[in-house]
């Protein structure tokens, strides 16, 4: 691994600030205000990765297992996830999203994409080209 230059460190600092501001603005475009950002993130993880045990979800979401157990219980009470017996280990459960959660996530995605598309209309062709290149890199950083 190479040491970052001073310019690269400045870029990282700018990126951090920009991602935080954009993330805050994106969160304000939520469809269901009753869900916390963490609950939305768990539903998104289930949508992206499929069913998982609470322990697997805790690792993917970078939270402690007891916290994930509480989050799953809240989502289940809202009808957005269901817990089923693990097929191989009777001591565990598998969490999956419900059809209601899938519909809510799809509606949220449409709303947020429309909002971002409207912002992107104000960018130059060169700036859009940079975004096309940056999107996969940002996704990689998000999943490291």
Count of domains forming the chain: 1
Tens place of pLDDT for every residue, the chain, 144 residues? 678 899 999 999 999 999 999 988 988 887 777 888 899 999 999 999 999 999 999 999 999 999 999 999 999 999 999 999 888 888 889 999 999 999 999 999 999 999 999 999 999 999 999 999 999 999 999 878
Q: Which residues of 101-137 are buried (b: 16+ CB within 10 A; e: fewer)?
A: beebbeebeeebeeeeeeeeeeeeeeeeeeeeeeeee
For residue 127, what are the domain limits? 6-142
73 closest CA partner among 83, 64, 59, 88: 83
Decide: residue 90, CB within 10 A, 0-12 exposed, 13-18 middle, 19+ buried: exposed
- How many alpha carbons fall within 13 Å on the CB side of residue 143? 9
In a domain, 92, yes or no: yes
In a domain, 1, yes or no: no
What's the whole-model pTM score? 0.77
Q: What are the backbone dihedrals phi and psi of residue 84, each rounded to the nearest 5 degrees, phi first?
A: -130, 155
Task: Let me know: does 53 contact 60? Beta carbons within 8 Å.
Answer: no
In a domain, 105, yes or no: yes
CATH number for the domain that contains residue 127:
1.10.10.10
**What tokens were used for 4?**
């970052």
Q: What are the backbone dihedrals phi and psi of residue 117, each rounded to the nearest 5 degrees, phi first?
A: -60, -40
In a domain, 101, yes or no: yes
In a domain, 120, yes or no: yes
In a domain, 107, yes or no: yes
């Amino acid at each position: 691994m190479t040491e970052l230059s001073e310019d690269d460190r400045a870029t990282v600092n700018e990126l951090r600030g920009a991602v935080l501001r954009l993330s805050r603005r994106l969160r304000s475009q939520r469809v269901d205000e009753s869900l916390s950002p963490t609950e939305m993130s768990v539903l998104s993880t289930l949508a992206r990765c499929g069913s998982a045990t609470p322990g697997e979800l805790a690792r993917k979401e970078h939270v402690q297992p007891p916290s994930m157990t509480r989050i799953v219980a809240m989502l289940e009470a809202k009808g957005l996830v269901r817990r089923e017996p693990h097929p191989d280990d009777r001591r565990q459960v598998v969490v999956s999203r419900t059809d209601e959660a899938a519909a809510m996530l799809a509606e949220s995605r449409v709303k947020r994409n429309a909002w971002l598309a409207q912002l992107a209309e104000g960018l130059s062709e060169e700036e859009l080209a940079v975004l096309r290149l940056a999107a996969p890199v940002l996704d990689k950083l998000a999943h490291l």
